């Protein structure tokens, strides 16, 4: 049966060259406050939801404009992303951005491409209190007990395998559970290391030109269609 390709693409460290949350913490919060939280996330002593919430509770809401300006001035979109978005649009590939990042920097950074992206899934922010509060509109379903925050596997499961050929593109711990349940993984950094360790087949990328090349290969296979 022919299937349509649907892509679940990470944002921080994937679409952007570096992780914007880490950059924010490094610039605005003392290392002795934020680094133990990040270490606990990677050691799986804290869930992603709990950890990201705790990180932003270290940031005063009064810094909203400074933080936003900082991210928008420092973030670098990975080479080839614009061409990648155009390619997906022309090939009738569904492109979803699935991120545990935050709306206040993801949405403005993606605004030049938004018309050709099917959906942007990310966490929301609330600056009305003393410190920044993260809101999670896309929680884990009954099949996930990882406490992701923005649960990528819940989004992935909404796209039935009978109809869709599912592709994860990512770099980090937030993409690992999704990589376990999709048809193809395009990975770099931590995600590539874990795929190698767990025996999950993957293709590597450093730019989105590499991702286009990997998708061209998929399209030539009989189980997917333009």
Structure confidence at residue 11 (pLDDT): 97
Q: Provide the percentage of residues in the chain whose pLDDT is more than 90.
A: 90
Per DSSP, what are the bridge partners of residue 223? none
Looking at every residue in the chain, the average pLDDT score rounds to: 94
Nearest Cα neighbor of 25 from 48, 74, 58 is 58
Residue 128: is its pLDDT beyond 70?
A: yes
Structure confidence at residue 173 (pLDDT): 86
Alpha helices in the chain (DSSP H): 20-28, 31-42, 48-56, 64-74, 81-90, 103-110, 152-157, 176-179, 189-198, 208-219
Residue 142: is its pLDDT beyond 50?
A: yes
User: What CATH class does 4-16+78-123+148-225 carry?
Assistant: alpha beta
From CA 50, how far away is CA 117, in angstroms rounded? 28
Structure confidence at residue 174 (pLDDT): 86
List, as own/partner pairs, every contact residues 132-141 make where C-beta atoms lie below 8 angstroms and the sequence separation is at least 24, other chains included. Answer: 132/56, 132/57, 132/59, 132/60, 132/61, 132/64, 133/53, 133/56, 133/57, 134/52, 134/53, 134/56, 134/102, 136/49, 139/49
Q: How many CA atoms lie within 13 A of 156 on its CB side?
A: 28
From CA 200, how far away is CA 90, in angstroms rounded? 29
| 151, two tokens | 């649960």
> Which segment of 16-30, 32-46, 67-81, 212-226 scores lowest on mean pLDDT?
212-226
In tens, the pLDDT along 30-71 reads: 999 999 999 999 898 999 999 999 999 999 999 999 999 999
Structure confidence at residue 217 (pLDDT): 86
> Per-domain residue ranges for the chain?
4-16+78-123+148-225
The pairing of strands 133-135 and 119-126 is antiparallel
Structure confidence at residue 224 (pLDDT): 58
Residue 220: is its pLDDT beyond 90?
A: no
- Which of the two residues, 136 and 225, has the higher pLDDT score? 136
Across residues 176-191, what is the average pLDDT? 95
User: Which residues, other chains included, contact 218 with Cβ-Cβ below 8 Å and sequence gap of 6+?
Assistant: 5, 165, 167, 184, 224
Structure confidence at residue 1 (pLDDT): 43
Q: Which residues of 67-79 are buried (b: 16+ CB within 10 A; e: fewer)?
A: bbebbeeebeebe
Structure confidence at residue 222 (pLDDT): 54
Q: Model's pTM, two decimal places?
A: 0.92
Task: Please say whether the beta carbons of 33 and 22 come within 8 A.
Answer: no
């Amino acid at each position: 049966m022919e299937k349509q390709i649907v892509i679940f693409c990470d944002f921080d460290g994937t679409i952007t060259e570096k992780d914007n949350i880490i950059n924010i913490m490094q610039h605005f919060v003392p290392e002795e406050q934020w680094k133990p939280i990040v270490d606990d996330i990677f050691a799986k002593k804290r869930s992603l939801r709990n950890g990201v919430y705790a990180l932003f509770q270290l940031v005063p809401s009064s810094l909203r404009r400074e933080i936003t300006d900082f991210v928008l001035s420092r973030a670098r979109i990975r080479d080839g992303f614009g061409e990648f978005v155009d390619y997906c649009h022309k090939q009738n590939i569904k492109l979803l951005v699935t991120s545990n990042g935050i709306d206040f920097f993801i949405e403005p950074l993606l605004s030049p491409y938004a018309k050709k992206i099917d959906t942007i899934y990310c966490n929301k922010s609330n600056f009305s209190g003393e410190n920044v509060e993260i809101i999670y509109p896309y929680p884990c379903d009954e099949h996930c007990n990882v406490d992701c925050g923005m649960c990528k596997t819940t989004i992935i499961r909404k796209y039935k395998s009978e109809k869709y050929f599912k592709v994860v593109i990512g770099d980090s711990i937030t993409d690992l559970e999704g990589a376990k349940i999709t048809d193809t993984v395009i990975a770099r950094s931590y995600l590539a290391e874990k795929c190698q360790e767990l025996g999950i087949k993957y293709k590597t990328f450093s730019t989105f030109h590499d991702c286009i090349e990997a998708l061209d290969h998929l399209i030539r296979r009989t189980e997917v269609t333009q």
